[in-house]
């Protein structure tokens, strides 16, 4: 794997509460410099990120990280983000509702959000965050199947704000549940090249991280020997 391929796995993210416009502009400049797949920002900064990145990919989060806004709020937030130029949406699943075995209600919400966002722009990429740190192995597989049934493009294992980050076991469980029918994104505590490459080798399609620059710099150091 070369540096360009590695960078394309990485969604460079800043979801901090105290992120300033300057921080977001710096994030976008680094996305350009290193060739990361996208800049991921909070919804407020989607327009700024699109302006700064020009033709680059901008992602944002919806109902992050709790997932317990109403369905109507998730729909409106998703529509607003897409209209402002977001190319990818990472949407938090209602984990509490899911754990109460209200699977049909969770799936209906997912399907409605997917339909609303794709009606605005068919090419928008949608990911549902299932927060594996709060789920049993069987729940991880079931939640992944719901994401597949919803028509979304990715299962995202974690928000990065849960009890732990993503694990290789999470990836195995998700893949067991959905095969190659939906892509996988991981996030949370993936801070080094060694950690990133272990997930890539396991078959993930995307990594969300605020340490993308460090990962690339460690790769460059490794290549230099």
Contacts of 76 (CB under 8 A, 6+ apart): none
Would you call 185 a catalytic residue per the annotation? yes
36 in any annotated domain:
no
Contacts of 84 (CB under 8 A, 6+ apart): 43, 46, 47, 50
26 in any annotated domain:
no
Q: Which of 11, 87, 90, 153 is labelled catalytic?
A: 90
41 in any annotated domain:
no
Q: Which two tokens stand for residue 10?
A: 């990485």
Q: Which domain holds residue 161?
A: 59-224
Domain count, the chain: 1
Residue in the block written with tokens 């729909």? 75
Cα separation of the two ends of the chain = 15
Is residue 185 classed as helix, strand or coil in its secondary structure? strand
23 in any annotated domain:
no
Q: Answer yes or no: are the C-beta atoms of 221 and 24 closer than 8 Å.
A: no
- C-alpha 8 chain-centroid distance: 14
pLDDT in tens, 146-188: 999 999 999 999 998 988 999 999 999 999 999 999 999 999 9
Q: Which of 74, 118, 127, 156 is labelled catalytic?
A: 156
Is residue 225 classed as helix, strand or coil in its secondary structure? coil
What whole-number distance in Å separates Cα of residue 123 and Cα of residue 111? 16
Q: Which residues pair with 40 in a beta bridge?
A: 13, 59
207 in any annotated domain:
yes
What whole-number distance in Å separates Cα of residue 127 and Cα of residue 189? 19
Q: Which of 50, 118, 183, 185 is labelled catalytic?
A: 185
At 67, which CATH number?
3.20.20.70
Q: Which residues pair with 89 in a beta bridge?
A: 60, 126
Q: Answer yes or no: are the C-beta atoms of 165 and 187 closer than 8 Å.
A: yes
- pLDDT (tens digit, 0 to 9) for every residue of the chain, 225 residues total? 899 999 999 999 999 999 999 999 999 999 999 999 999 999 999 999 999 998 999 999 999 999 999 999 999 999 999 999 999 999 999 999 999 999 999 999 999 999 999 999 999 999 999 999 999 999 999 999 999 999 999 999 999 898 899 999 999 999 999 999 999 999 999 999 999 999 999 999 999 999 999 999 999 998 887
Would you call 90 a catalytic residue per the annotation? yes
Would you call 181 a catalytic residue per the annotation? no
159 in any annotated domain:
yes
What whole-number distance in Å separates Cα of residue 199 and Cα of residue 100? 30
54 in any annotated domain:
no
9 in any annotated domain:
no
């Amino acid at each position: 794997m070369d540096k360009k391929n590695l960078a394309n796995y990485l969604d460079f993210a800043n979801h901090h509460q105290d992120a300033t416009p300057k921080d977001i502009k710096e994030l976008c400049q680094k996305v350009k410099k290193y060739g990361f797949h996208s800049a991921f920002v909070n919804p407020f900064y989607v327009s700024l990120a699109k302006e700064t990145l020009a033709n680059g990919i901008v992602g944002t989060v919806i109902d992050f990280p709790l997932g317990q806004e109403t369905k109507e709020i998730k729909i409106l937030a998703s529509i607003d983000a897409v209209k402002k130029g977001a190319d990818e949406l990472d949407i938090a699943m209602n984990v509490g509702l899911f754990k109460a075995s209200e699977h049909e209600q969770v799936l209906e919400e997912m399907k409605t959000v997917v339909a609303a966002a794709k009606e605005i722009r068919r090419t928008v990429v949608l990911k549902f965050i299932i927060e594996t740190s709060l789920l049993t192995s069987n729940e991880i597989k079931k939640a992944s199947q719901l994401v597949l049934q919803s028509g979304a493009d990715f299962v995202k294992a974690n928000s990065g704000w849960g009890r732990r980050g993503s694990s290789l076991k999470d990836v195995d469980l998700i893949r067991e549940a959905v095969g190659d029918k939906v892509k996988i994104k991981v996030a949370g505590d993936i801070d080094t090249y060694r950690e990133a490459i272990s997930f890539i080798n396991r078959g993930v399609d995307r990594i969300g991280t605020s340490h993308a620059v460090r990962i690339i710099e460690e790769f460059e150091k490794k290549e230099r020997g």
